[in-house]
Amino acid sequence: MPTHCPECESELVRLEGEVALRCINPKCPAQIREGLIHFVSRTAMNIDGLGEKVISQLFSKKLIKDVADLYKLTEEQLLGLERMGEKSVTNLLLAIEASKANSLEKLLFGLGIRHVGAKAAKTLAQQFECMERLALASTDELLAINEIGEKMAESIVAYFEKEEAQQLVAELSGAGVNMDYKGAKRVSAEESDSFFAGKTVVLTGKLEVLSRNDAKEKIEVLGGNVAGSVSKKTDLVIAGSDAGSKLAKAQELGIEIWNEERLIEELNK
Ligand SMILES: [Zn+2]
């Protein structure tokens, strides 16, 4: 087991609840590089053409030191990299430009705030609607949201309290990166008069018309909650074709079961 980071030689620490040792030096080149790779990944900002090799080159040539620097890259700089022709440079610059228009959750996930996965990022974006409001949220406000636990709430507050984080967000905003949620707005259960308001729904099996994500989003927008597993708290199970153990469990617990057609009918009311 190494005791020090091979890249920056800081002492490695074991964070609470984790097995692996980690380098927690925020200036560690390995950390920053990993952060960049995460930032451009598909679920995050989805910048095509920025693979690990390109990032490593940009990094070692000191063309980027953080994610905001991606938005300052020029054609000339990119053409100077190994195996980057004019066509790939043009496409990469377009992909970087296009990423500025992403909805808030992609940026939020991309920032790599500890404990904030893609799903939580979506919930936060829907709830706060813009980066500024989220950055000012208190632990209590965050904890009032169903899916946000203590660890995550604390991590979010700690992140936005850091001056470096505030600077980074300001820089991204200054570069024209969108800071607003652009998806469907979530209605709270109290505000919604939909059948789904306040209900916990589980999707299982293969849906023919709606994608799983589509269905989930539509139910959530109407004030429902979509959960991953069937329990006594489940109000409704939507069963597509080849539904397996979740359907069986729902039957065992006597939970209401719908097919996709019935779901679409209710969604369209
Ligand atoms: Zn390190």
Query: Are residues 44 and 88 part of one domain?
Result: yes
Segment holding 258, helix H or strand E: strand 256-258
> Is residue 3 assigned to a domain?
no
Asked if 171 contacts 94 with a C-beta cutoff of 8 angstroms, the reply is no
12 Cα: distance to centroid of ligand 1 (angstroms):
8
52 Cα: distance to centroid of ligand 1 (angstroms):
18
> Is residue 195 assigned to a domain?
no
Q: What is the CATH number for 257?
A: 3.40.50.10190
**Buried b or exposed e, range 212-229, using 16+ CB within 10 angstroms:** eeebbbbbbbbbbbbeee
5 Cα: distance to centroid of ligand 1 (angstroms):
5
Structural domain containing residue 18: 13-99
32 Cα: distance to centroid of ligand 1 (angstroms):
9
Query: Are residues 56 and 93 part of one domain?
Result: yes
Q: What is the CATH number for 167?
A: 1.10.150.20
pTM: 0.72
Asked if 28 contacts 20 with a C-beta cutoff of 8 angstroms, the reply is no
Q: Would you write out the chain's pLDDT as a tens digit for each of its 269 residues?
A: 788 998 888 888 887 777 888 887 777 888 888 899 999 999 999 998 888 889 989 988 999 988 999 999 999 999 999 989 999 999 999 999 999 999 999 999 999 998 999 999 999 999 999 999 999 999 999 999 888 999 999 999 999 998 989 999 999 999 999 999 998 777 777 778 889 998 999 999 998 888 888 888 889 888 898 998 999 999 999 999 998 899 999 999 999 999 999 998 898 88
27 Cα: distance to centroid of ligand 1 (angstroms):
8
> Is residue 4 assigned to a domain?
no
24 Cα: distance to centroid of ligand 1 (angstroms):
7
d(CA 117, CA 131): 16
Domain boundary among 139, 174, 209: 174
Query: Are residues 94 and 109 part of one domain?
Result: no
Q: Which pair of tokens denotes residue 75?
A: 């054609």
Query: Are residues 142 and 166 part of one domain?
Result: yes
